[in-house]
Every structure is written in structure tokens, then in C-alpha cells.
Amino acid sequence: MKSTDSKKVSFVLYEDEISPRFYEINKNFAKFILFGLPTVTLIVILMLTAVGVYFKQIQSLAQRKEPRIIRELKEDRQNLISQTQQLFVERDRLKNKLAMGVEGPATGLGFLALFRQSAGRQDLTSSPEMMLEEVEVNSSAKEIDINFKIINQTRDNSRLTGYLYIVMQVGQYIEVWPVNSFDDQSMTLSFAKGEYFATSRFRPVKATFRKPKSGQALFKIIIFGRTGDLIFKQLISRPV
């Protein structure tokens, strides 16, 4: 390759089994190909990156300036969608339970004699999705309090719901919490009259009972699901 004049560059191209060929190009064009084109490409890439960052900042600023009422409406809409999906699942479960009919006493739930039988009730306490923590029993001259937390242990951290009963027994004395949950005519308990709760993490519980004579107090913690299945049971014994 050699320079023929101040504006052109000439070169001869040799290839195997092909006769040599002579080429001549403008110096400025050669400089543009070697230096100008990569520079222009780099500048375009930098400009596109800057434009992308700029629009990303505008989007983030718009989200921060989004009216609070719109964000709340979006959250409410998402919650309604989740609740609707859960209702569909529970509807199907309830249909299946009603189709099973009322179970007899030989289902392993005989200790629930105080509770009215419900269609298709199942004992799901072998793999509970909750546990109790920080259990405390305190007594005064006239009352006994039991305090604890229901801890959500669902695998996907889904919302945990149920109906809670606490039965206290001291000797022959028995009291049920929540109060006024007995049916006036049949003197039985319906699972849906228990203390309703729903939690994604934990639910504190405090139940107060009248204090009988001193002795060993047995507290039966019983929790039903929304369709009447027994989903949790635990026995707590404390002296009072």
C-alpha cells in the first residue's frame, strides 16, 4: 500500500490463484471507516443509554407522585382478586364436604362432644399450619387469664383464617370461651360461633375465665377452619 497523492491511498490485493487487483480510496473515507464509524457508534450507544436512564427516572418520579388514592385502589383491587380466588376454592371444598354428609362418632373426633357435628368434618390436626407461642396463664382472686400467640406456618405465607375456642376445665368445672357461644336450645357449640381470626403472621389471643377452686386447670385450644374442619388442637395444663 502506498500514497499516490495527498487525498488518495492506493493498495494492491493479492489472493491465492487470483491475479492481483489494484484499489484506490479516498484518505478521508478510510479515516472515517477506521476511526469515525466506531466513534459514532459509541456516541449513539451512550446517547441511547442516557435516554433510557432519563425515561426510567421519569417513570420512577411519576410513580412517586402517583396519588395515594390510586395506589390504595390498586391494592384494594389486588386484595379483592385474592379473596375471590380463595372464595372459589372454599366453595368447592364446601360442596365436597356437603356431599360427604355428616360423619358418625367413630371419626376420631369424639372429644368434640360439646360441638355440633358439621357435614364432612375432617381432623386435619396431624399437619397443622399454625403453632402457639408465648403461652402464659395468670390468675387473680377472681379470674384466670390465658395469653398466647397463634403463629402462621403456612408454606406460602398465605392468609390463615379460623374459628377459635378455648375450653377450661378445673375438676368438674368447665367454662368455654368466647362467652355466650352455646346455642340456647340445643346447648351445643357451632364451630362458626368461635372467635374468628385472620392473620398473615401472628394473632395475639387473651381469654379470661372465672376462677373456680384451686386445682389443675386444663385448657383445650380448639381451632376450626372456615368450612368446619378441625385444623388445630392443643392441651395446656397449669396449676391455679
113-169 per-position pLDDT tens digit: 788 777 777 888 888 999 999 999 998 888 999 999 999 998 888 889 999 999 999
Give the closest residue to 129 by CA, choosing from 202, 181, 211: 202
Question: CB 198: neighbour CB atoms within 10 A?
Answer: 11
Q: Provide the pLDDT for residue 185.
A: 67
Cis peptide before 20 (omega within 30 of 0): no
Q: List Cα–Cα distances, 233 to 54, 170, 171, in angstroms.
A: 58, 18, 20
Instruction: Enumerate residues 6+ apart whose C-beta is below 8 A from 237.
Output: 216, 217, 218, 219
Q: Provide the pLDDT for residue 88.
A: 74
Mean pLDDT over each residue of the chain, to the nearest integer: 81
DSSP at 96: H
Torsion angle (degrees, nearest 10) of CA 73, 77, 79, 84: 150
Lowest mean pLDDT among 6-10, 36-40, 213-217: 6-10
Q: Is residue 53 very low, low, confident or very high in pLDDT (cuts 50, 70, 90)? A: confident
Per-residue model confidence as pLDDT tens digits over 172-221: 888 999 988 887 666 788 888 899 999 989 999 999 999 888 788 999 99
Torsions phi, psi for 135 (to 5 deg) = -75, 125
d(CA 7, CA 199): 82
DSSP string, 41-95: HHHHHHHHHHHHHHHHHHHHHHHHTS-HHHHHHHHHHHHHHHHHHHHHHHHHHHH
d(CA 59, CA 36): 35
Per-residue model confidence as pLDDT tens digits over 58-103: 777 766 666 777 777 888 888 888 778 777 777 766 666 654 544 5
Q: Provide the pLDDT for residue 240.
A: 79
Q: What is the mean pLDDT of residues 14-31?
A: 75
Asked whether the beta carbons of 234 and 222 are under 8 A apart, the reply is: no
Name, of 16-25, 45-54, 106-115, the range with top average pLDDT: 45-54
164: β partners: 195, 223
Q: Provide the pLDDT for residue 140.
A: 87
Amino acid in position 14: Y
Q: Provide the pLDDT for residue 112.
A: 67
Question: Candidates 3.40.50.1980, 2.60.40.3880, 2.40.50.140, 3.40.1180.10; correct CATH number of 113-239?
Answer: 2.60.40.3880
Q: Provide the pLDDT for residue 36.
A: 77
Q: What is the pTM of this model?
A: 0.57
